């Protein structure tokens, strides 16, 4: 697996949303939920409709899942941006079963299959290239983008560490792409 970067520029995030929304609401929703949840791609792709909507087809306030990699329970609120993307996606999808995958593959086999990791990679990578992102981008970029922007907004690194299930703050800093240049900027901008 190659090392990928978070999307650091919010203008690029909005440009990707615009491209994905114009192309396919499923892909837009995948991207938006991914960057607003910090879920690993394996957990994002295994979401079912029942994880995000109630029996009356209303979007839930929270997502409650067991992580595939860690087997830990993850329980978190659905952000306003993710909720709006889900609503738009559901309006287009109209008829769905409560237990089917949230992000369905367009090529149907027997029943409705979940979007696969390699296809999600192509969707995200192609959108990034189309807006001129030069960094390595992949499915893990969604999770890293969540962590990076949480850190940039002032969230304590130990809280981000806990949200991402990392063992040390140092691991989290490396993971979200905090570079030597970022650390140098602290010295250059502080000037007390």
Q: What is the pLDDT along the chain (192 residues), one digit of tens a residue?
A: 468 999 999 999 999 999 999 999 999 999 999 999 999 999 999 999 999 999 888 999 999 999 999 898 999 999 999 999 999 999 988 778 888 999 998 776 556 889 999 999 999 999 999 999 998 999 999 999 999 999 999 999 999 999 999 999 999 999 998 877 788 888 989 888
3-state DSSP assignment of residue 44: helix
User: Out of 3.40.50.300, 1.10.287.3510, 1.10.8.60, 1.10.443.10, which CATH number does the structure's domain 10-140 have?
Assistant: 1.10.443.10
34, HSE (Cβ side, Cα atoms, 13 Å): 32
The Cα–Cα gap between 94 and 73 comes to 30
List, by residue number, the catalytic residues.
40, 69, 140, 143, 166, 175
Q: What is the pTM of this model?
A: 0.92
Cα distances (Å, whole numbers) of residue 47 to 3, 44, 99, 173, 191: 25, 6, 10, 27, 47
* CB distance 46 to 33 below 8 Å: no
Q: Domain limits of the chain?
A: 10-140
Cα distances (Å, whole numbers) of residue 105 to 4, 81, 100, 102, 120: 24, 23, 11, 10, 10
């Amino acid at each position: 697996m190659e090392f990928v970067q978070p999307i650091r520029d919010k203008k690029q995030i909005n440009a990707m949303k615009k491209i994905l929304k114009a192309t396919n609401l499923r892909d837009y929703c995948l991207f938006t939920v991914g960057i607003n949840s910090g879920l690993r791609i394996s957990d994002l792709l295994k979401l079912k409709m029942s994880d995000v909507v109630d029996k009356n087809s209303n979007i839930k306030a929270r997502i409650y899942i067991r992580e595939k990699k860690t087997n830990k329970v993850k329980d978190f609120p659905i952000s306003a941006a993710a909720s709006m993307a889900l609503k738009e996606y559901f309006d287009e999808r109209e008829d769905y079963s409560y237990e089917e995958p949230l992000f369905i593959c367009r090529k149907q086999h027997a029943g409705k299959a979940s979007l696969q990791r390699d296809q999600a990679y192509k969707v995200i990578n192609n959108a990034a290239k189309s807006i001129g992102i030069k960094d390595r981008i992949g499915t893990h970029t969604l999770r890293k983008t969540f962590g990076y922007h949480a850190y940039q907004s002032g969230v304590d690194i130990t809280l981000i560490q806990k949200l991402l299930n990392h063992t040390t703050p140092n691991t989290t800093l490396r993971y979200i792409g905090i570079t030597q240049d970022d650390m140098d900027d602290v010295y250059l901008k502080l000037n007390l």
